[in-house]
Amino acid sequence: MYLVMIGGSDAGISAALRAREVDPAADVTVVLEDAYPNFSICGIPYYLSGEVTSWRTLAHRTLADLEAAGMRLRLDTIARRIDVPGRKLLITSADGAEELLGYDKLIVGTGAVPVRPPIAGLAGPAALGPDDGVHLLHSMGDTFAMMATLEQVAPATAVIVGAGYIGLEMADALTVRGLAVTQMEQLPEVLPTVDPELGALVHAELAGHGVEVLTGTTVQAITRAGAGQPRRLHVQATSADGSAVTRAADMVLVVVGVRPETALAADAGARLGVKGAIAVDRGMRTNLPDVFAAGDCVITHHRLLGETYLPLGTTAHKQGRVAGENALGGDRQFAGSLGTQVVKIFDQAAARTGLRDHEAKAAGFDPVTVASQADDHKAYYPGSHRIAMRVTGDRATGRLLGLQLFGHKNAEIAKRIDIAAAAIFNHMTVDAVSDLDLSYTPPLGSPWDAVQMGAQAWTRRTRRPLPRSGSATGHRLASRPPGQPRTI
Ligand SMILES: Cc1cc2nc3c(=O)[nH]c(=O)nc-3n(C[C@H](O)[C@H](O)[C@H](O)COP(=O)(O)OP(=O)(O)OC[C@H]3O[C@@H](n4cnc5c(N)ncnc54)[C@H](O)[C@@H]3O)c2cc1C
């Protein structure tokens, strides 16, 4: 069996590793356009901040590890065209030589590319780029270019366009590195993937660390500063009330999201779906015979929303694994995403899983979102932190639909969101979250974990009637022996 993977990041390498695991005799070739297979691009901000001192350590596995796993890697090689009926892939290697690679099964993992927003100075033949101190950020190549600016120009000031999770991580990173950072976001609040109430807490954390946060601010143009100016670049923007905002900076980072990289698959006839991503079934099969696809280039099956587009590393790993197994004749299904994610901003973390109120409404639920707070561990033990929570549940069924958290980076925000992710994954009600047997010791938790306190706040607010024995929400009372008093 000849397997060829296009893309050497999370999806392509996960597929290759799984294929070799399932069939150690499988002949596996990974084609990637750069020389950095299996690098953790999620770790880039921490290399640029200086906290991770060597870019080499960002590799999940070294080239030697990957080769030892039995795959062949074609570095600096671009996949040009897929001949679907002939089951051949046209590639160009680093020396410019063209070659046709035959395959039995092909897995497309071409990922995503950063969006270039319509900002004057970012497009056309005179577009500003890394040599001017203007950067996008996705690949190791982008990382090296940005590090060159940081080391050679030694910028004192930076403007970051965008306040999604990568923009926030980079505001943290560049501040840690000693730059004065201005963050411009066109939406009314930062981190628009959580409710504005939590976004405001993130905003305050940024401001508390000296980041100038300009929300409701749309960047119009980036230009080179004239000779003799103290800063290299000018950023012109418009605030929500229409007034002009101008900042001078030594470097500009534009991080406003990604779009799926689908040209190769689309040219071969692959059907596209949500947001132009490659349409796949849950076995990661495209509509093309013997062609699978996974990762940021494909649509995402969401457990509550159906088909959507949610490019995340965790998802790319899982989808790649499914594609690798199925390419060898398996029948694995991608179980679906809940969009579970967490981001560290200086000393705090924000996380979400499942749906927010408006998303749940659009999906046909009758959502109620209840805000509450609880301590991460018993307050009498030193070092406790408050956690702000927003629990979203369905009024009609009591089902847990979503959770958002904000709290100190040591308050186990990531693992607490994972409790809710596991609960939503398993269709649990909000009330049933209180029944989970979670761990407790005063320095690390409470008899009721913070997430359970949030669930109880939701149940109190919605004043759901006590569930009857055997009802979908009646985990605790359903197990009560007949004739025994109710205990709540
Ligand atoms: C700074 C940053 C931080 C992030 N942090 C997180 C995080 O904390 N958590 C999280 O879950 N996700 C995070 N992500 C997102 C995550 O990194 C991506 O979802 C994940 O890497 C997607 O993997 P992929 O394999 O689908 O695609 P990509 O990583 O985009 O890789 C695509 C691969 O395909 C190759 N390729 C494309 N076209 C061709 C071609 N024609 N020929 C040959 N090769 C080709 C590329 O060179 C690359 O190797 C972050 C992303 C960035 C940029």
Q: How far apart are the first and last CA of the chain?
A: 59
pLDDT of 117 strictly over 80: yes
Model confidence pLDDT, tens digit, residues 272-282: 999 999 999 99
Is 211 close to ligand 1, i.e. is its CB under 6 Å away? no
Q: What is the pLDDT of residue 479?
A: 33
Tokens encoding 433: 């979250």
**Burial class, 373, CB count within 10 angstroms (exposed 0-12 / middle 13-18 / buried 19+):** middle
Is 8 close to ligand 1, i.e. is its CB under 6 Å away? yes
Please tell me the distance between residue 432's alpha carbon and the centre of ligand 1 in angstroms. Answer: 37
> Which pTM was predicted?
0.93
Is 111 close to ligand 1, i.e. is its CB under 6 Å away? yes
Please tell me the distance between residue 378's alpha carbon and the centre of ligand 1 in angstroms. Answer: 40
Q: How many Å is the maximal CA-CA distance in the chain?
A: 87
Model confidence pLDDT, tens digit, residues 203-241: 999 999 999 999 999 999 999 998 888 889 999 999 999
- Least confident window among 37-51, 169-183, 262-276, 469-483: 469-483
Q: Pick the residue whose CA is nearest to atom 28 on ligand 1.
A: 111
The ligand 1 atom nearest the CA atom of 137: 53
Model confidence pLDDT, tens digit, residues 71-81: 999 999 999 99
Is 359 close to ligand 1, i.e. is its CB under 6 Å away? no
462 Ramachandran zone, left/alpha/beta (phi>0; psi -120 to 50): alpha
Q: Nearest to residue 32, comparing CAs of 308, 310, 270, 295?
A: 295
Model confidence pLDDT, tens digit, residues 424-479: 999 999 999 999 999 999 999 999 999 999 999 999 999 866 555 544 333 332 33
pLDDT of 352 strictly over 80: yes
Q: Pick the residue whose CA is nearest to atom 39 on ligand 1.
A: 110
- Mean pLDDT throughout 398-424? 98
Q: Pick the residue whose CA is nearest to atom 2 on ligand 1.
A: 42
Q: Nearest to residue 296, comparing CAs of 281, 275, 271?
A: 275
pLDDT of 22 strictly over 80: yes
Q: What is the pLDDT of residue 228?
A: 83
Tokens encoding 294: 């996974």
* Burial readout 228-239 (b: 16 or more C-beta within 10 A, e: otherwise): eeebbbbbbbee
Q: What is the pLDDT of residue 88?
A: 98
- Mean pLDDT throughout 81-107? 97
What is the band of 289 on the pLDDT scale with cuts at 50, 70, 90? very high
Q: Pick the residue whose CA is nearest to atom 3 on ligand 1.
A: 42
pLDDT of 396 strictly over 50: yes
